[in-house]
Structure formats: structure tokens, C-alpha cells
Amino acid sequence: MALNWPWALIALLAFPLLLGFRWWTRRRRRREAVTISSVTLIRAALPGRSLWRRRIPIWLFAVGLVVLGTGAARPHASIPVPSNAATILLAIDVSGSMCSTDVQPNRLTVAQNAARDFIKAQKGTRIGLVTFSGIAGLLVAPTIEQKPLLDAIDTLRTSRGTAIGLAILASIDAIAEINPNVAPTGIDMAGDNPSSGNDSGEYQPETIVVLTDGRNTHGVTPETAAAEAAARHIRVYTIGFGTTEPSAMVCSRDQISGDPMRPEGRGFGGGGFGRFQQIDEGTLKEVAQTTGGDYFHAVDAKELNEVMQDLPNTIVLQREFVEITVWFALVGALLIATAVALAQWWNRSFT
């Protein structure tokens, strides 16, 4: 728990002042009992109150003052963020190897279907869409509207190269546009020692999910990009998709861009075999571990759907600081009201 106004804790002085006042009044009563003997005889004739009935109201009142004094310092607590309060940047690989048919009808089609189901299931959650091949770019800025996201999924086209690191950096910049607490990638974060990860366990409410079937071939390394995300307390979840068996590379015409992709595109639309590109699981695991995320591997449509649908249950574990002053005020007021009520109730026979 943190305090916005720690100087307000001076209000806690009310507690020792109250104890001093109670001690002074009790001492005064003793003196009066000795001076006025008739009052002493009258008090002795009255039914006495038990010790705990005398002390409970005063202690409840004192604790209530302490709680109110702490609330005046505006405490903040770290609490889990509900899944619909988080923002998810979904980065999808559209490299040429996504035309591999080891997952029928091909990897890209299955990834598109899984992404559609994921988006439809996240009502109220802000989702942004990043695509990457040899370059990476933001296709749809984070939004709760599902239609632009679903429309964009339908337009995915394959191209040459795989820039996993650039995809993470593009996602960070998209997050920086909506979260003032996140610095864009051009800002030096060396002082935050990103290589050590986030040991405090506190993360931004935005999360990056990277879906890829290969290894980085263009741009910055995924490890470098992961360090940038860790320095900003952004978690990256990575998904490796596909089998390890070479398969025919077949994409429909509307899944292929104008890039001829000579090195890995032979046989697009015709069933030939292209160069097989194996998933770099070691790097994907390192990216997830560095940022506090997790790595998942899916070899078919069923496993990919299961991974995507389970993601919100993992992402919900993010935490952020929320002001809880109102709860201190409510508890403090309740304690004081209870103390006054008990004092009035137990003292009614003496008035």
C-alpha cells in the first residue's frame, strides 16, 4: 500500500491525545470522589458496569480515529485488474510460412479464425491489432468496437520476413498512445534495468500477445524488444503455432500480397513445398520470461483456440494501484458510530 499524502498522518496524533484526555478525566473523577464523599456513596449504591463495557466504546472510537487519519493520507493499494479493464495488443505473424498446410487449410486461415473467436469473446475489452512480416505496423488502434477488428482480420496478407521484435516495439508504441504512464520506444529506459524483469509484480493494464510460426529474420531482436517491454512493466505472451513437419505452402489469392516472396514462396496456390521455418521456441520463451508473461505452443486449430480462449484468465492477474480512501472513511465512520452507540446504550441507566 502507498500513500499520496503521507504528511496527513499527523492526524493520527488524535489517538494519543484521546488517551491523554481519558487519563486526565479519570484522575479528576478520583479526586472528586475523595472530596465529595456523598457522591461516592451514591455511585457505590448504583449497579456497576463491567470493565469491558467501559473500555470497548473508547477503544472502538480510538481505532476509528486511526483509520480515518490513515484515510486522510489517501492510501493506494495494488489490486487485480478485471479482464474487461485491460487492453490487449494482438500481434499476428503474416510471414510467407503462414501459408504452410501442416494445419489445414493453412496456418493463416486457422490463425484468422482463432483471432475472430477471441475478439468476439472479449466484450468490453479494448483490443488492438498489429501485423508483422518483414516489417510491423499497427493495423487497428486499441478499441472496444469489434467490427473494425474483425474487418481487419479478413484483410490479412502474407509477405516476406518475420520481424517479431519490431512487432513488440510497434505494440509498445500503440500502448504509449493510450497510457501516459508508458513511454514510447524512443525513450531511453536504461535506468530501469529492464534485464532484471519486473520483480515488484506490478504491471501496466496493457498486455501484448504475439502469435508466430517462425523465428525473427528482420529488425531488432525479440530479446531487445522484450527488454523494452519489461522496462515499461508490460507483459508479453508468446504463442508458437504450427508443427515441425515441412508441408505444402498453399494460400488463396486474397491471402497473398504483391510481394513475390521468391525465397519462401514457391508453390503458393499450387501445392508446392516452400522452405520450412521452425518455431524459435527458445526465444519466445525468453521473451515471455523477461516480461513476466507466458509461452504457449499450439500445433493445430483446436490447441490454438484453447490457448486464445484461456488467455483472459491469465491476463486478469495484472495488478494496478487504485485509491482506497473511501473504504478507510467508511470503516472509520462505522467504528466511531458503533462506539458512540454502545456508549449511549450501556450508559442509559446512569443518565
Name the residue range of residue 73's domain. 2-78+323-350
Q: Are residues 63 and 133 in the same domain?
A: no
Q: Are residues 173 and 51 in the same domain?
A: no
Instruction: Return mean pLDDT, the chain.
Output: 80
**Per-residue confidence at 131, pLDDT binned at 50, 70, 90?**
very high
**Per-residue confidence at 202, pLDDT binned at 50, 70, 90?**
confident
Summarize the confidence of residues 263-270 as an average pLDDT: 42
pLDDT, greater one: 288 or 17: 288
Per-residue pLDDT at 273: 47
pLDDT, greater one: 41 or 59: 59
Q: Are residues 69 and 171 in the same domain?
A: no
Q: Are residues 69 and 99 in the same domain?
A: no
Q: Are residues 337 and 312 in the same domain?
A: no
**Per-residue confidence at 310, pLDDT binned at 50, 70, 90?**
confident
The answer, yes or no, to whether residue 302 has pLDDT greater than 70, is yes
pLDDT tens for 76-121 read 776 665 555 679 999 999 999 999 999 899 999 999 999 999 999 9
Cβ-Cβ contacts under 8 Å for 321 (sequence gap 6 or more): 2, 76, 77, 78, 202
Q: Are residues 46 and 149 in the same domain?
A: no
CATH of the domain at 191: 3.40.50.410
Percent of the residues in the chain that have a pLDDT greater than 70, as a whole number: 72
The answer, yes or no, to whether residue 347 has pLDDT greater than 90, is no
Least confident of 159-163, 171-175, 212-216, 260-264: 260-264
If residue 322 lies in a helix (H) or strand (E), which one and from where to where? Answer: strand 319-323
Q: Are residues 310 and 336 in the same domain?
A: no
**CB 318 within 8 Å of CB 179:** no
Q: Are residues 161 and 29 in the same domain?
A: no
Q: Are residues 35 and 98 in the same domain?
A: no
Q: Are residues 144 and 290 in the same domain?
A: yes
The answer, yes or no, to whether residue 72 has pLDDT greater than 50, is yes
Q: Are residues 188 and 114 in the same domain?
A: yes
Summarize the confidence of residues 237-262 as an average pLDDT: 80
- CA–CA distance, 308 with 314 (Å, rounded to integer): 11
Count of the separate structural domains present in the chain: 2
Per-residue pLDDT at 7: 59
Per-residue pLDDT at 244: 81
In sequence order, which ranges of the chain are alpha helices (DSSP H)?
14-35, 37-45, 51-71, 107-121, 146-153, 164-178, 222-231, 281-291, 301-315, 325-346
Residue type (1 letter), 183: A
Q: Are residues 165 and 207 in the same domain?
A: yes
**Three cell numbers at 294?**
507466458
Per-residue pLDDT at 267: 42
